[in-house]
Structure 1
Amino acid sequence: MEIRQLQYFLMLCKELHFSEAAFKIGISQPTLSQQIRVLEDELGIPLFDRMGKKIAKTEAGELLECYALQVIQQLDNAKKAIADLNDLHTGRLRIAVLPSDLDYRLTEILIDFRKEFPNTKVQVFPTIESLQRVLNNDVDIGISLKMNADSRLEQIPFYTETYSLFVNEKHDFAQKKSITPAELVNIPLVLYPQGKCGRDLIDTWCVKQGIAIDSVMETGSATSLFQLVQEDIGATIQPSQLIENFHSIGIVSIPIENAPIRELDIVYRKDRYLSKAAEAFIKMMIEKF
């Protein structure tokens, strides 16, 4: 049983005349008659009583009409739902993002996205395995540090930033215009734990600079690190623009000479359909950052 056959059947139910129904469908009367016979043969029961030029629905025809109307309506509902999905009226967007400071800075974008597309459900998954989540089709979009090219992925560079030293305004270095890598060695620091992307980036940079730094306290939250800086527990090394997003009081940002740099990519699978919602979110990310 095909959708086309059900559509022919319903038109005949409406017109109760083969010639009129065939005309409105846009096919010949013999073609319509043949398709109805195929349908009746499949069901093993007549759907119409033929009385010369007049026809009437049988009990089986009445029953099939009821269900056929539901089928066609559900198909129409599906088409409209997909159309709405393409128009960003409904649907779901899943995003894998580096944890810590970056997922925090997404909040403003998520708010704007929600205002513009209130019926699109957004799920954000903080993870250091953004690329793998994309490759596994667990998420639609990934946000990660710049990586070597992968032929399976579309990679869009969207942001590059340097790191700075953040200290309490009463810190001895608070008035400095810049700080050298060597000066970081003896400063009590509060940092992310090793294994976090931000910490690994800093440790790799330190090796290249020929220095070794240590932390007096570690936490996986950018917010808590800045709170520790506010309390003068230690200084922290974070992306230079991050302080603007915390509206912190009593914290000073000091540029680091030859500072660590991180480059961020938006990634998605090349062989997977990128929804309009995903395209819109990517555009927001690029414009915002």
Structure 2
Amino acid sequence: MSTTDVPLYQPEWLELREDADAAARAPELLDPLRAWLAGPGLRPGGLTVHDLGCGTGSMGRWLAPRLPGPQHWVLYDRDPALLGRAAAQTPSTTADGSGVTVLTRRADLGRLIADDLAGASLVTASALLDVLTRDEVNALVAACAGAECPVLLALSVAGRVELAPADPLDAEIAEAFNAHQRRGGLLGPDAVTVASEAFAERGATVRVHSSPWRLGAGESALTAQWLRGWVGAAVEQRPELAPRAEAYLERRLAQCAAGELRVVVHHSDLLALPGPLPYGGGVS
């Protein structure tokens, strides 16, 4: 990723999606992570967690209370305003009531190296893998492998969306959106597979678990904003869709406003643990 002063995501969008993200994240990956942190990953002085592309800090708000402390969070983002917001909203205590400290780093994640992660107990990120290229994913995996710590990468797009009621244009919009996700060499829906293979090649135990958004009448504001972005990206990729896509979006937004639309947006969470586990494991 190139360094820029323009944030990748607007804070309003990140805040709008936070509850859906929290509900979607795979808690099934936390038990093997906790076991590793309490066993081969046990380090004096508590946990040091590096949160890459932290945005408004939603991963810290979800994860810090679910891990034992004390914890020191190192937050990375290229937007200083997001860094400030994330730091201010990081939880002050952990699962056992221990304290949390925070450090922020404005950084280009495309240039991350193992030395940047020295001393890390855990590296984590949300909605990051799918906006990287293959070279960037390989560099990220190499940096994490060099740090010899677990990696929890949440909410990467899986390339599948389910809408009910169905519409004849659903599949065409989804195909164009997925092509947009892969523009310019970005991995999009292929990111978790590429990252899983890269971690496994470096001897890690990899687990992947589904983490879908399930959006109904109670999430209409998020659904409407997601629809606009989903259809907009599809039209950007295939401009010839514009006339039909405009009518499609109007239909879908009307269904959303009426509480009639249900959407499942599929994501995947990935956990990579250094080396083989004594109690088994592997890619799932």
TM-score in terms of structure 2 length: 0.30
The two structures have a TM-score, normalised by structure 1, of 0.29
Larger Rg, first or second structure (1 or 2): 1
